[in-house]
């Protein structure tokens, strides 16, 4: 490493501390991965089959959502009904309250869903429409109408929006007629923002891991979950997630309201993390399970040894990801296969937004070297200075290097089956250098 590069090196825990101490100048609006509270809330309500989302405000937010891949536009038509009051200038001046009441009535007339979720975007919240005042009391027999103020301009992040939606939904669970908890059952919150066959594979793997422990899955939070089934999540003894920090707010609410056990294991990526995920789940459920003699685990240990041998122990890995869960998951995965990771391109805004998650990980002993960079050229400089690292990223900026692409939309990544898939991909990665004559290289 050159002195200039060394100057930019630090520890991830130092960045977390600096963000906590408000010592980092964070430029607002640069966190392109996070969106705003509207998106977070819309995603959560969008999971429920018998829920119609009604967006109060301008139409653009809802329209964009229909075309964004993570929300279901990748391989199928977006068929779930959703409505917007589609503000015009007229509505901004005179208020959109009457239009909102009409829209709720229209949704009732056309769909009469079990749940109507009214969420606002910036326009409605700037003019201060009294959303609660309008919709309160509009619900019909057997129906609930809930609302959230989710305007992004207030600074509420995507995470905040999803948390608030989860809290509203937990409130609905509490209002439902009481049901007994069934011991030995567990809810699975699988990997999100994937679709199609891979989504099914990941969920099936989550179920298989839990069943391997002798647990019975009560329910899976998935797109299209019926409203009643969602309410019945409360009948499980515990909740576990493949991405804990996303589901944390609902876990907390359910722990408080129903005593549901909250398992904090997350990101079962690679064998070490997958076994840790299963071990944490088993302990929380008071199960004594030893997987060391499991033939599948033994097979994966062998495979991992081959990967480690092929990679060479202590080889550097450069991990480039902005999102927090992936940063932690990939750093752990790199160590799982014997790599020595450095994370790059970490957006302090992401750290701030998810600081409680990072703080917990740091407290639990997680840390990783961090390289501060502003531009891709600086990351390229680091990669070149490391000799022959493995680069874990989803871009093609590193011709001539071994690049492990983690764009896993179509690749199984979680659990034991995911570990097998990732190890295979890693072996391929080492054999296959990125072309030095990539389009990007030519353009540059």
Beta bridge partners, 231, equal none
CA–CA gap between residue 121 and residue 1 (Å, rounded): 47
Residue 91 CB, nearest approach to other proteins (Å): 8
Asked if residue 184 binds other proteins (CB under 8 A), the reply is no
Q: Which stretch binds other proteins (CB under 8 A): 42-50, 88-96, 287-295, 426-434?
A: 88-96
Nearest to 197 by CA among 75, 69, 78: 75
Residue 116 CB, nearest approach to other proteins (Å): 22
CA distances for 273 relative to 88, 132, 266, 268, 331, angstroms: 50, 44, 8, 5, 11
Asked if residue 94 binds other proteins (CB under 8 A), the reply is yes
Residue 95 CB, nearest approach to other proteins (Å): 3
Binding residue for other proteins, selected from 5, 18, 74, 127, defined by CB under 8 A: 127
Beta bridge partners, 342, equal 318
Which residue, 43 or 129, is less far from other proteins as judged by CB?
129
Which residue's structure tokens are 């299963």?
Answer: 278
Residue 92 CB, nearest approach to other proteins (Å): 5
CA–CA gap between residue 389 and residue 316 (Å, rounded): 5
Asked if residue 101 binds other proteins (CB under 8 A), the reply is no
Tell me the site size for other proteins, rule CB under 8 A: 12
Residue 89 CB, nearest approach to other proteins (Å): 6
What's phi and psi for 91, nearest 5 deg? -70, -30
CA–CA gap between residue 212 and residue 255 (Å, rounded): 25
Binding residue for other proteins, selected from 74, 126, 181, 291, defined by CB under 8 A: 126
Q: In this structure, what token pair is assigned to residue 210?
A: 């839990």
Which residue, 91 or 381, is less far from other proteins as judged by CB?
91
Whether the CB-CB separation of 139 and 223 falls below 8 Å is answered with no
Q: Are strands 9-11 and 369-371 parallel, antiparallel or unpaired?
A: antiparallel
Asked if residue 95 binds other proteins (CB under 8 A), the reply is yes
Buried b (16+ CB within 10 A) or exposed e, 367-401: ebebbebeebebbbbbbeebeebbbbbeeebbbeb
Which residue, 91 or 353, is less far from other proteins as judged by CB?
91
Q: Which stretch binds other proteins (CB under 8 A): 87-95, 191-199, 292-300, 396-404?
A: 87-95
Residue 100 CB, nearest approach to other proteins (Å): 11
Residue 243 CB, nearest approach to other proteins (Å): 40
Largest CA distance in the chain: 70
Asked if residue 70 binds other proteins (CB under 8 A), the reply is no
Binding residue for other proteins, selected from 49, 129, 164, 232, defined by CB under 8 A: 129
Whether the CB-CB separation of 369 and 9 falls below 8 Å is answered with yes
Helices 158-175, 244-258: crossing angle, 10 deg rounding: 30
Residue 90 CB, nearest approach to other proteins (Å): 7
Q: Which stretch binds other proteins (CB under 8 A): 37-45, 62-70, 126-134, 413-421?
A: 126-134
Residue 177 CB, nearest approach to other proteins (Å): 38
Q: Which stretch binds other proteins (CB under 8 A): 32-40, 58-66, 92-100, 435-443?
A: 92-100
Q: Which stretch binds other proteins (CB under 8 A): 19-27, 125-133, 262-270, 283-291?
A: 125-133
Binding residue for other proteins, selected from 4, 30, 90, 437, defined by CB under 8 A: 90
3-state helix, strand, coil in the chain (%, to 5): 50, 15, 35
Which residue, 73 or 95, is less far from other proteins as judged by CB?
95
Alpha-helical (H) ranges within 213-317 are: 227-231, 244-258, 271-284, 295-311
Asked if residue 89 binds other proteins (CB under 8 A), the reply is yes
Residue 127 CB, nearest approach to other proteins (Å): 4
Asked if residue 226 binds other proteins (CB under 8 A), the reply is no
CA–CA gap between residue 196 and residue 193 (Å, rounded): 10
Asked if residue 97 binds other proteins (CB under 8 A), the reply is yes
Which residue, 97 or 253, is less far from other proteins as judged by CB?
97
Binding residue for other proteins, selected from 5, 18, 24, 92, defined by CB under 8 A: 92
Cα end-to-end span (Å), the chain: 24
What are the DSSP E strand ranges found in 397-443?
402-405
CA–CA gap between residue 248 and residue 164 (Å, rounded): 11
Which residue, 89 or 442, is less far from other proteins as judged by CB?
89
Asked if residue 86 binds other proteins (CB under 8 A), the reply is no
CA–CA gap between residue 160 and residue 168 (Å, rounded): 12
Q: Which stretch binds other proteins (CB under 8 A): 31-39, 64-72, 123-131, 402-410?
A: 123-131
Which residue's structure tokens are 């089959």?
Answer: 49
Beta bridge partners, 393, equal 405
Which residues sit at the interface with other proteins, rule CB under 8 A? 89-95, 97, 126-127, 129-130
């Amino acid at each position: 490493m050159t002195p200039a590069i060394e100057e930019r090196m630090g520890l991830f825990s130092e960045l977390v501390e600096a963000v906590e101490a408000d010592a980092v100048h964070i430029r607002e609006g640069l966190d392109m991965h996070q969106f705003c509270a509207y998106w977070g809330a819309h995603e959560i309500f969008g999971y429920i089959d018998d829920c119609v989302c009604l967006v109060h405000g301008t139409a653009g937010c809802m329209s964009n959502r229909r075309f964004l891949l993570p929300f279901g536009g990748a391989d199928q038509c977006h068929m779930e009904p959703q409505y917007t009051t589609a503000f015009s200038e007229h509505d901004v001046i005179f208020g959109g309250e009457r239009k909102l009441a009409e829209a709720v009535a229209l949704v009732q007339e056309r769909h009469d869903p079990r749940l109507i979720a009214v969420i606002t975007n910036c326009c409605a919240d700037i003019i201060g429409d009294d959303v609660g005042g309008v919709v309160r009391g509009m619900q019909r027999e057997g129906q609930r109408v809930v609302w959230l103020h989710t305007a992004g301009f207030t600074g509420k992040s995507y995470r905040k929006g999803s948390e608030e939606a989860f809290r509203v939904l937990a409130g609905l669970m509490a209002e439902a007629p009481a049901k007994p908890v069934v011991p030995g059952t567990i809810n699975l919150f699988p990997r999100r923002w994937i679709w199609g066959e891979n989504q099914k594979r990941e969920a099936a793997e989550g179920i298989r891991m839990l069943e391997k422990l002798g647990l019975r899955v009560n329910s899976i939070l998935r797109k299209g979950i019926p409203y009643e089934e969602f309410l019945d999540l409360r009948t499980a003894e515990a909740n576990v997630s493949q991405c804990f920090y996303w589901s944390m707010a609902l876990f907390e609410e359910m722990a408080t309201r129903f005593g549901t056990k909250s398992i904090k294991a997350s990101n079962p990526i690679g064998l070490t993390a997958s076994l840790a995920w299963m071990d944490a789940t088993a302990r929380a459920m008071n199960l004594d399970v030893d997987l060391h003699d499991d033939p599948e685990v033994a097979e994966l240990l062998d495979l991992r040894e081959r990967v480690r041998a092929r990679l060479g122990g202590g080889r550097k890995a450069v991990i480039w990801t902005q999102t927090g869960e992936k940063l932690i998951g990939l750093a752990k995965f790199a160590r799982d296969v014997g790599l020595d990771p450095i994370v790059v391109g970490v957006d302090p805004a992401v750290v701030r937004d998810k600081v409680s998650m990072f703080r917990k990980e740091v407290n639990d002993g997680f840390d990783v070297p961090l390289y501060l960079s502003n531009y891709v050229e600086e990351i390229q400089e680091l990669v070149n200075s490391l000799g022959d690292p493995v680069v874990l990223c989803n871009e093609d900026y590193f011709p001539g290097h071994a690049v492990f692409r983690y764009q896993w939309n179509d690749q199984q990544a979680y659990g034991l089956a995911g570990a097998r898939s990732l190890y295979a991909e890693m072996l391929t990665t080492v054999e296959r250098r990125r072309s030095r004559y990539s389009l990007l290289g030519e353009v540059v």
